A and B are shown apart, each in its own frame.
Chain A
Amino acid sequence: MALTGLNAVDSPGPGVAVARALRESPDYDVRLIGLSYEALEPGIYLPDLFARSYQLPYPSAGTAALRERLLEIHEREQLDVIIPNFDAELYNFGRLAPELTARGIHTFLPTAAQLEMRDKLNLAAFGTAHGLLVPADVRLFGVADIPRAAAELGWPLVLKGRYYDATVCHTLAQAEQAFWQLQARWGAPVLAQQFVAGQEINVAGLADGRGQLLSAVPMRKLFITDKGKAWAGITIADEALPALARRFAEATRWRGGFELELMRTLAGELFIMEINPRFPAWIYLAVGAGHNQPAALLQLARGEAVREFGAYAVGKMFVRYAWDLVVDNADFQQMASLGEL
């Protein structure tokens, strides 16, 4: 089977963690194929996890280019299942899913409508429609929109890029600078979001696409990097968190893995800050807590029955680490020039 997200860097993709989870599944003896976008994605150089790695065209190259490359790889590797792990590639994989299935490659992906409804730009409307707490927001198409947003949402404002990045702005000058940076990098509109103070909690989940939540493992961040990523975290017991994940799965009939990024205020309210349409990079903690969600996703993709997981272990921690892989330059050259290793 093949998976993406091999960029185990300071803002990591989930692929290496998903691969570890799959390798530990007692039900499967998987041979893993890594799919990368860059020649320096660390997962490429982990031969104990990935038997081979292939470079894919960027999502912006479109569905046809991805189709062509996947079929090339399939011809050589006879892929059974693909698990894409990046938000931006899910649309292309989703469009290709019927053809991939016809060729014997299974996937289990959220639908295009599901991807749209949890999109950053639509999140506030999604919250309103389903009675879920989501910070209010205003779309900014120019700096002239910032004062109106501030009047509506109050200071500080959180400015978010269309796809990534967020900046907390306390003044109009800060907001204008952040707007130009975010627009230049991610395009328009930039999103101004109400600032919510509290404790950051994330939930890794898996749902069956028919409204049933199969697993939800909540994690509180213990150490946060300057990019806002969890470098250490701990599983916690709070019934409100799986309950929220269940509401999300039921309301959306979510298909596959997901991550809820939450903020718990001092008053105990749970705000949904973002919904990621794939497993988080810390998914291996869920495995350590007894919920091997990636292995269950593999079963779903293969059309096998998956039962709801039971209790997870509370108080399990992960501490991420940086590890220098020493590889031969020839391997890098081969990956960079031929697109496979």
Chain B
Amino acid sequence: MKLKPTIALSAAGLLFNPATGDSFSANPVALEILGLLREDQAPEAAKTALLARYEVEAHQLDKDWDDLVAQLRQHDLLDS
């Protein structure tokens, strides 16, 4: 699972998909996850990093992760 390399991602959390013209904004945590996805980090490794960094239960992180990934897929922002 990797963010498409053509997606522009700004430090302020703004995404732009040049293939469709769609723009999105991500909150700071989502931006951090998108950065991990851009680096093609495995989901489990990314989640471990997030669990260490934030006070969040694993089941809640899983739920939020799945929700974000579903949104990214819906908007065709992921390579696979």
Task: Enumerate chain A interface residues (CB-CB to B < 8 A).
Answer: 199, 220, 222, 233-238, 314-315
Contacts and interface: CB of A to CB of B under 8 A. Distances in A.
A233 B20 CA distance: 11
B19 A238 contact: yes
B16 A315 contact: yes
| Chain B contact residues: helix, strand, loop or mixed | loop
A237 B16 contact: no
Contacts of B18: 236-237, 314-315
- Most chain A beta carbons < 10 A, residue from B6, B16, B18: B18
A284 B16 CA distance: 22
Q: How large is the interface on B (under 10, 10 to 19, 20 to 34, 35 or more residues)?
A: under 10
Nearest to A317: B21
Contacts, number: 21
Contacts of A199: 20
Nearest to B76: A268
Contacts of A233: 21
Contacts of B21: 220, 222, 233-236, 315
Interface of B: 6, 8, 16, 18-21
A233 B21 CA distance: 9
A224 to B, nearest CB: 13
Nearest to A236: B21
Given A236-B20, A315-B21, 11 more contacts: A220-B20, A222-B21, A233-B21, A236-B18, A236-B19, A236-B21, A237-B18, A237-B19, A238-B20, A314-B18, A315-B18
Contacts of A222: 21
- Most chain A beta carbons < 10 A, residue from B6, B20, B21: B21
A234 to B, nearest CB: 4
Nearest to B16: A315
Nearest to A219: B21
A234 B21 CA distance: 6
Nearest to A221: B21
A269 B16 CA distance: 22
Contacts of B19: 236-238
A303 B66 CA distance: 59
Q: Which are the 7 A-B pairs with shortest beta-carbon distances? A: A220-B21, A234-B21, A237-B18, A236-B21, A314-B18, A238-B19, A237-B19
B27 to A, nearest CB: 22
21 contacts: A199-B20, A220-B20, A220-B21, A222-B21, A233-B21, A234-B21, A235-B21, A236-B18, A236-B19, A236-B20, A236-B21, A237-B6, A237-B18, A237-B19, A238-B19, A238-B20, A314-B18, A315-B8, A315-B16, A315-B18, A315-B21
